[in-house]
Amino acid sequence: MSAESLTATAESSPIPKKSFANSAFARLARYTAVRFFTMAITVTVGVYLTILIANMGGYVDTIMRNEIRDGVTQAILASPTYRSLSQEAKQELIQKKIAAEEARIGLDKPFAIRSLIYLRNGLTLNLGRALYMTSDHGSKEVRLILLERLPATLLLTGTTELFLFFGSVFIALSLSRKYGSWFDKLTIALSPTSAAPPWFYGIFFILIFAAVLKILPFGGLVDSPSPDNPFDYGLSVLKHLILPAMSVIVSSIFLSIYNWRTFFLIFSSEDYVEVARAKGLPSRDVERRYILRPTLPTIITNFALLVITLWTGFTITETVFVWPGLGITLYRAIGAYDTPVIVGSTIIYAYLLAITVFLLDFVYALVDPRVKVGAGGSQ
Amino acid sequence: MNTLKNTLRDLARYPSAVFGIAVIFVLLGVAVYALVTIPYSEAVRLWRGGEEVWYRNPKYAAPAWFNSFSKTKQPISFTASTRDGGITKAVIPQGQDISSIEMTYVFEYAYDAPPQELILYFNTVFEQKFPFVSIVWRTPDGREIKIVNMTVDRRTTYRFSQDPKLQKYLKTDQVMEALFRDPKSETPTPLKGQYQLLITATTFENASDIDAEFVLHGNLYGLAGTDKYRRDLFLPLLYGTPIALAFGLLAALGTAFLTMIIAAIGTWYGSWVDELIQRITEINLVLPFLAILIMIGTFYSRSIWLMLGATILLSIFGGSIKTYRAVFLQVKEAGYIEAARTYGASDLRIIFNYLIPRMIPLLIPTLVSSVPGFVFLEASLAVLGLGDPVLPTWGKVINDAFTDGALYQGRYYWVLEPAVLLMFTGLGFAMLGFALDRIFNPRLRDI
């Protein structure tokens, strides 16, 4: 990703002058702007590809047609102006209006132009109306159905990713300190378990903690009926969060720890670390300033890749735990064959991935001195 | 050849690699066995078959080996038929075209619970006059219970516990409990010992004949148990092996080699080709992989081979292209490439004969480690309900179990059997991949 282009540009950069245009803040801003711009282009192409794949069977066309037909029919049937018309006349009027509307939107245009219209709709989250599914508030707008589910998904992904990141970095650091210990060997032995996806561990956790021990719920977001006061509600959500979060964490933590521990070990044999140790710096300082600091950019890049693969895992984990997020909505849409919701979810997922990558890029810029000092934003 | 020998010797030093190789060989053996014993079309027929294929099996039966771990022995299902000699059959002509057919079946019942159901299937041959059967049940302590007297059609099914007359006669609707009950015991425990089923049939035509099949639906069945549709789970567990391996290996091979070729082409030609590949990789990164697969599965086809193709296409421009690129950039400057260029080797020759072979050692660990991911991907798609509609796979079994709420109902075997197989496959490849990575990556060797 950005890591390599940065390395290339940073090394060839001249020594920066101390002026505002070259100040750390300006560089950071420029870097962020460039990343934002590239990410916007990437998302556009990604959404366009999604639409192309979806419309190979004409599904997006159908979504658009349905929406027009629904809108026109409802408008005419509800309007007092046309109340006096006979049934046939109304039908004829509806057909005429539909044709006019389709022409206005551009459904009669060749696919190349149509696809651009769809792209605009997709990018502005104008995702059409669901065939069967409704949001909790009874709306059939795909955008509302999906956005309503977003908080639950973000809660699950946010919690697990934070845990995963800080958990693996600190455990990896402490393992690199106690290299060769019993716990270190155990982590190495356990790292192949990350081959299995989160939902797989989810099954075992449900079996152990919900079915046999009966101490944690099988799934869902809150107890039913949901508690009235916010504190109990939060507590109940927390209780339901444990198993899905744990299965995601268990499925990837051992591999991350193993990778990062190896990475720290390689770095801790660098000369400057040896010098720092020889100077008699406390090992905490050595770790923080001489090992963690220079490796952090690479760790963040690795983490970004991990998070991207995790998004796939969340979809099914949510399904297994009946966690009311985007994933289970997508699962239900498959079951109901609700095409607009499936296409809409794909677009939302593309957005979420892009935002994740962008955020991590931003963090990367914050921790990578080359962005602040070198010519990081000049690509 | 020497490198191969060295690699093998290195591998033998890692117990995890030995374990991984053993698991992979066992799986390959099972896969070959499955393909040889059950042809593809037969597997599909059995898996898609309904009652007519699986009527002999009980629903939701746990595997028979459960009894070895439990104090109370649950009844194991079995069948016997006059066709294969399980039920003895004696024809005694009575004159005037009438003959009496005596069918006797003796079986040992040593379980601590009554079975779910007893069923008799009659297949008869006659022109006009229906044969007549009477069934008698003899318990180990010598009591005789008249089950039924009835005429039988060409195909007649008699279910013991659903006969209202028998229920009335036994004065309970728990027919199984009554038939197997020990009369001396206070609690309803089954009497252990030899039970006899005596079927006397009378036929009224010369060419008339009768065959009977006796089915006992217990609580346990076979090596793997059965599901909601009475299907023997051993079939999908056995046949899922070649499918999982094929999907995993083909996807891993396809992805690894195509990625490498693309990386090599990009680095060799450089400039805009390289730039384009880099940009595609970035776009591919934000494409929601699973959501697109789901879209393809819902809109076009759920065939496992289409899914395989789509998976490979979407994974080619993955993160590993960067790693390969970095190595190719170094190799590109090597002396022997320079030499090849001077003697006038074509671009393609350099890419395929000089660049890519240098990469193979780096490729092998990645390839092996990526197999589990694809095996689990196939299962994941099945769990989402997008599994291949006709093939018996491990993921399909998990999906069936989940939709039926197997974990809530305590039918753990249904979920655990495919899950354990998936885990072994995943662990086998992952452990071998790890060991290979350490061998081919000298930097990791001592750490």
Choose among A218, A305, A349: nearest Cβ to B291: A349
Q: How far A35 CA sits from the closest chain B CA (Å)?
A: 12
Please state, in angstroms and rounded to a whole number, the distance separating the CA atoms of residues A152 and A237: 10
- Optimal mutation site among A133, A341, A346, interface B, most CBs of chain B within 10 A: A346
* β-bridge partners, B105: B197
A345 contacts B423? CB cut-off 8 A: no
Q: Which of B308, B432, B414, B440 is nearest to B372 (CA)?
A: B432
Written as six digits, the tokens of A36 are: 């934002």
Confidence of residue B425 (pLDDT cuts 50, 70, 90): very high
Please state, in angstroms and rounded to a whole number, the distance separating the CA atoms of residues B435 and B445: 10
Please state, in angstroms and rounded to a whole number, the distance separating the CA atoms of residues A362 and B367: 32
Choose among A204, A207, A262: nearest Cβ to B447: A262
Q: Across A179-183, B369-373, B436-440, which has the greatest mean pLDDT?
A: B369-373
Please state, in angstroms and rounded to a whole number, the distance separating the CA atoms of residues A257 and A169: 7
* β-bridge partners, B123: B155, B211
Name chain B contacts of A305, Cβ cutoff 8 Å. 319
Q: How far B174 CA sits from the closest chain A CA (Å)?
A: 30
| Contact between B378 and B291 (Cβ < 8 Å) | no
Strand order in B209-217's β-sheet? B78-81, B209-217, B117-125, B155-159
Please state, in angstroms and rounded to a whole number, the distance separating the CA atoms of residues A199 and B380: 8
Calculate the CA B379 to chain-centre distance: 12
A38 contacts B285? CB cut-off 8 A: no
Residue type, B34: A
Specify the pLDDT at position B321.
Answer: 85
Q: How far B315 CA sits from the closest chain A CA (Å)?
A: 11
Written as six digits, the tokens of A202 are: 């989810």
Written as six digits, the tokens of B24 are: 């992979």
Specify the pLDDT at position A378.
Answer: 39
Per-residue pLDDT of chain A (379 residues; tens, 9 = 90+): 344 443 434 444 445 445 555 677 888 888 888 888 888 888 888 888 888 887 776 677 777 777 788 888 888 877 777 777 777 888 888 888 888 887 777 777 777 777 888 888 888 888 878 877 888 888 888 888 888 888 899 999 989 988 998 999 888 888 888 777 888 888 888 888 888 889 889 888 988 898 888 888 888 887 777 778 888 888 888 889 999 999 999 998 998 888 888 888 888 878 888 888 888 888 888 888 888 888 888 888 888 888 888 887 888 888 888 888 888 888 888 888 788 888 888 888 888 888 888 888 888 888 877 766 654 443 3
Written as six digits, the tokens of A201 are: 């561990």
| Contact between B225 and B63 (Cβ < 8 Å) | yes
Residue-averaged pLDDT of chain B: 86
Looking at A20-142, which runs of residues are DSSP E strands? none
Please state, in angstroms and rounded to a whole number, the distance separating the CA atoms of residues A341 and A266: 47
Written as six digits, the tokens of A261 are: 């521990």
Per the listing, tokens 């086998």 go with B428
Nearest CA in chain A to B290: A312
Per the listing, tokens 């990343």 go with A35
Nearest CA in chain A to B384: A331
| Contact between B378 and B304 (Cβ < 8 Å) | yes
| Contact between A287 and A172 (Cβ < 8 Å) | no
Please state, in angstroms and rounded to a whole number, the distance separating the CA atoms of residues B190 and B194: 12
- Give the end-to-end CA distance of chain A in Å, rounded to a whole number: 13
Residue B420's CB is within 10 A of a number of other CB atoms, namely 12
For residues B178, B182, B184, B189, the Cα torsion angle rounded to the nearest 10 degrees is -100
Long-range pairs, B324-331, Cβ under 8 A, ≥24? B324/B259, B324/B260, B324/B263, B324/B264, B324/B359, B324/B362, B325/B263, B325/B266, B325/B267, B325/B274, B326/A4, B327/B359, B327/B362, B328/B263, B328/B264, B328/B267, B328/B268, B328/B355, B328/B359, B329/B267, B331/B355, B331/B358, B331/B359
Sign of CA dihedral B325, B363, B253, B306: negative
Q: Is A377 helix (H, G, I), strand (E, B) or coil?
A: coil
Please state, in angstroms and rounded to a whole number, the distance separating the CA atoms of residues B120 and B137: 13
Name chain B contacts of A320, Cβ cutoff 8 Å. 383, 402
Q: Is residue A23 within a helix (H) or strand (E), and if so which, with residue range? A: none
Write phi, then psi, for A303 (nearest 5 degrees): -65, -40
Q: Which of A210, A307, A190, A320 is nearest to A255 (CA)?
A: A190
Confidence of residue B1 (pLDDT cuts 50, 70, 90): low
Please state, in angstroms and rounded to a whole number, the distance separating the CA atoms of residues A129 and B141: 71
Scanning A133-152 for CB atoms below 8 A from B yields none
To the nearest 10 degrees (0 to 180), the angle between helices A142-177 and A339-367 is 40
Specify the pLDDT at position B28.
Answer: 94
| Per-position b or e across B94-112, b if 16+ CB within 10 A of its CB | eeeeebebebebeeebebe
Q: Which of A272, A255, A260, A249 is nearest to A176 (CA)?
A: A260
A330 contacts B291? CB cut-off 8 A: yes
Choose among A195, A200, A312: nearest Cβ to B290: A312
Residue B252 pLDDT greater than 90, yes or no: yes
Specify the pLDDT at position A3.
Answer: 41
Please state, in angstroms and rounded to a whole number, the distance separating the CA atoms of residues B390 and B41: 10
Please state, in angstroms and rounded to a whole number, the distance separating the CA atoms of residues A268 and A77: 75
Q: Is A230 helix (H, G, I), strand (E, B) or coil?
A: helix
Written as six digits, the tokens of A291 are: 């090992």
Choose among B292, B384, B422: nearest Cβ to A200: B422
Scanning A42-101 for CB atoms below 8 A from B yields 42-43, 45-46, 49-50, 53-54, 56-57, 59
- Specify the DSSP class assigned to residue A141: B
Q: Is the Cβ of A262 closer than 8 Å to some Cβ of chain B?
A: yes
Q: How far A243 CA sits from the closest chain B CA (Å)?
A: 15
B426 contacts A196? CB cut-off 8 A: yes
Per the listing, tokens 């069948």 go with B79
Q: How far A1 CA sits from the closest chain B CA (Å)?
A: 7
B299 contacts A265? CB cut-off 8 A: no
Name chain A contacts of B306, Cβ cutoff 8 Å. none
Do the bridges between strand B132-138 and strand B144-151 make them parallel or antiparallel, or are there none, so unpaired?
Answer: antiparallel
Q: How far A324 CA sits from the closest chain B CA (Å)?
A: 15
B423 contacts A200? CB cut-off 8 A: yes
Q: How far B16 CA sits from the closest chain A CA (Å)?
A: 8
Sign of CA dihedral B357, B359, B362, B366: negative
Q: CA dist B266 to A91, A347, B338, Å? A: 59, 29, 18
Q: Is the Cβ of A257 closer than 8 Å to some Cβ of chain B?
A: no
In terms of Cβ atoms closer than 10 Å to its own Cβ (0-12, 13-18, 19+), residue A16 is: middle
- DSSP per residue over B219-242, as a string? SB-TTT-B-TT--BTHHHHHHHHH
B141-170: per-residue pLDDT in tens? 888 888 888 888 888 888 888 888 888 888
Specify the pLDDT at position B248.
Answer: 93
Specify the pLDDT at position A34.
Answer: 86
Per the listing, tokens 């104008």 go with A126
Nearest CA in chain A to B432: A192
Name chain B contacts of A196, Cβ cutoff 8 Å. 372, 376, 422-423, 426
Name chain A contacts of B408, Cβ cutoff 8 Å. 211, 218
A46 contacts B282? CB cut-off 8 A: no
Please state, in angstroms and rounded to a whole number, the distance separating the CA atoms of residues B108 and B118: 15
- Give the lowest-confidence range in A281-295, B104-118, B266-280: A281-295
Specify the pLDDT at position A8.
Answer: 39
| A225 prior amide bond cis, ω within 30 | yes
Residue B350 pLDDT greater than 60, yes or no: yes
